[in-house]
């Protein structure tokens, strides 16, 4: 019987080796230079972005999830971080244009530089994976649709959190003080 867990871990190790140099540093710098950080993504990609926003909040940063009822408007000096494997998810592209019109910076985490998100974001991090239609990168994964992308998104963003912790001399203890206490 195939050990699927081991197969997924091998896919992740391989994809991690293909990650562009300095991706974490560039994202960490953009986050620390922003007044507030907004995150957006659809479906499972969106869930990974929400997990990231939670850790940004634990770091004491002003983090918001686009679409939540309590999310304020974006302003100049803010950063919108979007995760989309295809880089073409329609609901996200409207936000990208709007954020630019409002003079916010956009960071895009996607697979293809030639996608709309990859070509229009101010800061682009390319993740080696396959988009949901598996039109490219299918040799990297046996998993369905965008699963490898979504896993890499979570791992890369967790690495960005570690980088910010290092830059700010924070640790799990300082962050745990901001953990939800009404759960
Ligand atoms: O990451 P993308 O290309 O924006 O696509 C998001 C969509 O893909 C999925 O994550 C499925 O792989 C859906 O949950 C979601 O609708």
Domains of the chain: 2-169 (3.40.50.10490)
Question: Would the pLDDT of 178 be above 90?
Answer: no
Pocket lining: 116 vs ligand 1, CB cutoff 6 Å: no
CB 168 within 8 A of CB 59: yes
pLDDT tens, residue by residue, 13-72 = 999 999 999 999 999 999 999 999 999 999 999 999 999 999 999 999 999 999 999 999
**CA 15-66-131 angle, 5° bins:** 30
Annotated catalytic residues are 150
Q: With pLDDT > 90 as the criterion, what percentage of the chain qualifies?
A: 92
| ipTM > 0.85, yes or no | yes
How many helices and strands (H and E) does the chain possess?
A: 7, 5
What's the CA-to-centroid distance between 56 and ligand 1, angstroms? Answer: 22
Question: Would the pLDDT of 98 be above 90?
Answer: yes
- Closest-CA residue to 34 (of 61, 10, 9, 58): 61
CB 127 within 8 A of CB 156: yes
Atom of ligand 1 nearest to the CA of 145: 12
Pocket lining: 45 vs ligand 1, CB cutoff 6 Å: yes
- Closest-CA residue to 110 (of 130, 133, 90, 139): 130
Question: Would the pLDDT of 1 be above 80?
Answer: no
CB 87 within 8 A of CB 116: yes
CB 130 within 8 A of CB 148: yes
Q: Rounded to 5 degrees, what are φ and ψ at 159? A: -65, -35
What's the CA-to-centroid distance between 31 and ligand 1, angstroms? Answer: 24
C-alpha 22/C-alpha 177 separation (Å) is 30
Q: Per-residue confidence at 181, pLDDT binned at 50, 70, 90?
A: confident
Pocket lining: 151 vs ligand 1, CB cutoff 6 Å: no
Pocket lining: 43 vs ligand 1, CB cutoff 6 Å: yes
What's the CA-to-centroid distance between 122 and ligand 1, angstroms? Answer: 22
């Amino acid at each position: 019987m195939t050990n699927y867990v081991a197969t997924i871990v091998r896919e992740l190790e391989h994809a991690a080796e293909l990650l562009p140099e300095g991706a974490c540093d560039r994202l960490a710098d953009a986050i620390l230079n922003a007044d507030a950080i907004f995150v957006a993504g659809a479906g499972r990609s969106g869930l990974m972005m929400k997990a990231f926003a939670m850790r940004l909040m634990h770091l004491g940063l002003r983090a918001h999830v686009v679409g939540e009822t309590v999310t304020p408007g974006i302003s100049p000096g803010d950063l919108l971080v979007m995760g989309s494997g295809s880089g073409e998810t329609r609901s996200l592209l409207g936000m990208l244009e709007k954020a630019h019109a409002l003079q916010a910076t956009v960071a895009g985490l996607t697979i293809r530089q030639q996608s709309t998100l990859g070509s229009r974001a101010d800061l682009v991090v390319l993740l080696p994976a396959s988009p949901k239609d598996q039109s490219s990168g299918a040799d990297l994964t046996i998993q369905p649709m965008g699963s490898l992308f979504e896993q890499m998104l979570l791992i890369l963003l967790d690495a960005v959190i570690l980088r910010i912790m290092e830059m700010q001399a924070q640790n799990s203890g300082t962050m745990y003080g901001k953990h939800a206490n009404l759960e």
